[in-house]
Structure formats: C-alpha cells, structure tokens
Amino acid sequence: MLQTASTKLETLALLSLAFLDIMPVSEGHTLVIPKYHAETLKDVPDEYLADVGPVIKKVALATGVKDYNIVQNNGKLAFQHVPHVHFHIVPKPNEKEGLILDAKQNWPMKKAENDELAATAEKMTSRM
C-alpha cells in the first residue's frame, strides 16, 4: 500500500504512522504501522507497540463512528498479505459497510472444559 501526503493522518506519534487504506471497506478505513520493519507482531520492539496503541485509539475515535474493528493479522494462515506489521482500523457505520463477519462462520466457537482452559493458561504463562 502506497502512502501519499494526501492519505497520511497527522498523529504526532514518533514511532508509528497512520494513513488511509487505498482499498477501503468503509470511509475512514485506516492503517497504523510501526516505523520499525517487522513481518509479525512478535518481532516489533515493545516501545513501538507502546506508541502504536494510542495512535490506534486516536484514529478509531477520529473516524466519528461508534462501532469499529481493529484487525492485525500474523502469517499467511491468518490472512496476512503484506509482510509488515500493520493494524487496520475499520469503521462499521452500518451492516453493509466495514468488516462483514458471520459469527457462526468466522468465529467457530467450541465449548472448553475448565481443566482444558487451566492447562492452556499454564502453558501460555510458561512461555511469557
């Protein structure tokens, strides 16, 4: 995605950039990226992530839309198409614009037992 002066948003952030998506799914669809090249989130230094968070919030509020999605994909299986960490802020002004998800199709939930959840929490905690 090319960034031009006309699509850049001035956020006053030191370590990140925000610019309008050139293929938006709704008005105000914006990308926020760290000024550090990393393909996935795990490779971004924490100080850049600390800078990105407030920018995402400012941009989301600046869309003027009450409902919105924040999307960040890591890896091909997770639908990452650009090899640079980026966050999509996607305003959802109505049912036809913005990100369109079907909870049954796009969020296949399954019941987890408490012992399974406890084992997963322990496994993840040991990796932190």
List the Cα angle 119/124/101 in 5-degree steps: 95
Q: What is the pTM of this model?
A: 0.84
Strands 30-34 and 16-20: antiparallel
Tokens of 116: 């399974």
pLDDT at position 2 is 53
CA distance 125 to 128: 5
Instruction: Kindly list the catalytic residues.
Output: 86
As a whole number of angstroms, the distance between CA 54 and CA 116 comes to 34
Burial 22-58 (b: 16+ CB within 10 A, else e): eebebebbbbbbbebeeeeeeebeeebeebbeebbeb
Joined together, the tokens standing for residue 49 give: 């992530």
pLDDT of residue 93: 96
Local confidence pLDDT in tens for the 128 residues of the chain: 555 556 888 888 899 999 999 999 999 999 999 999 999 999 999 999 999 999 999 999 999 999 999 999 999 998 999 999 999 999 999 999 998 887 777 777 788 888 988 888 888 889 88
